[in-house]
């Protein structure tokens, strides 16, 4: 790894891998979230003093948002189409958001189990505007592991 002690990863070196295949182009990955319930457990000690403990509860599913240029990526478009059509056998895939060091070596990986698309939003189109058309895709997943 080419990061020196105390260095942080740069946010511009990243990629998205879906079932082992890297998505060709990305603009942004944002709002990667996963939650876990907290159980508050109250009891009293032998001398009658209250004790409060917090314990991990049930993990909840998470989601993230991916923004990319509207391209002809057949694999990514098919994945979106399978999700929208409700073909969950084809739609649920394992994905990874990968952050890389300055030499583009993978350093941190967020693994998303059983990920699929829940929302697609296409940017606006306007006559005479010089802008790229983008797709913003919301991805939900059942479990997040960090590697």
- Please give the domain boundaries of the chain with CATH numbers for all domains: 14-146 (2.30.110.20)
CA dist list (Å): 38 to 45, 58, 61, 78: 22, 8, 15, 38
| Confidence (pTM) | 0.84
List Cβ neighbours of 81 (8 Å cut-off, separation of 6 or more): none
Q: Is 76 exposed, middle or buried (0-12, 13-18, 19+ CB in 10 A)?
A: buried
List Cβ neighbours of 99 (8 Å cut-off, separation of 6 or more): 9, 11, 13, 14, 106, 107, 108, 109
Per-residue confidence band for 121, with pLDDT thresholds at 50, 70 and 90: very high
Quote the CA–CA distance of 61 and 78 in Å, as a whole number: 23
Whether the per-residue pLDDT at 29 is higher than 90: the answer is yes
**What's the pLDDT at 2?**
67
Per-residue confidence band for 24, with pLDDT thresholds at 50, 70 and 90: confident
**What's the pLDDT at 1?**
52
Quote the CA–CA distance of 10 and 66 in Å, as a whole number: 18
Compute how many other C-beta atoms are within 10 angstroms of the C-beta atom of residue 5. 4
Stretch (H or E) spanning 85: helix 74-85
């Amino acid at each position: 790894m080419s990061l020196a002690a105390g260095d942080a990863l740069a946010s511009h070196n990243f990629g998205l891998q879906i079932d082992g295949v890297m998505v060709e182009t990305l603009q942004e990955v944002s709002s990667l979230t996963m939650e876990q319930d907290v159980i508050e457990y109250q009891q009293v000690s032998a001398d009658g003093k209250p004790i409060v403990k917090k314990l991990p509860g049930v993990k909840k599913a998470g989601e993230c948002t991916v923004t990319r240029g509207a391209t002809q990526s057949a694999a990514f478009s098919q994945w979106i189409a399978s999700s929208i059509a409700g073909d969950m056998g084809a739609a649920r895939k394992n994905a990874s958001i990968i952050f890389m060091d300055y030499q583009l070596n993978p350093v941190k990986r967020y693994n998303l189990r059983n990920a699929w698309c829940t929302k697609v939003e296409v940017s606006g189109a306007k006559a005479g505007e010089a802008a790229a058309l983008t797709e913003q895709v919301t991805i939900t997943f059942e479990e997040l592991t960090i590697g």
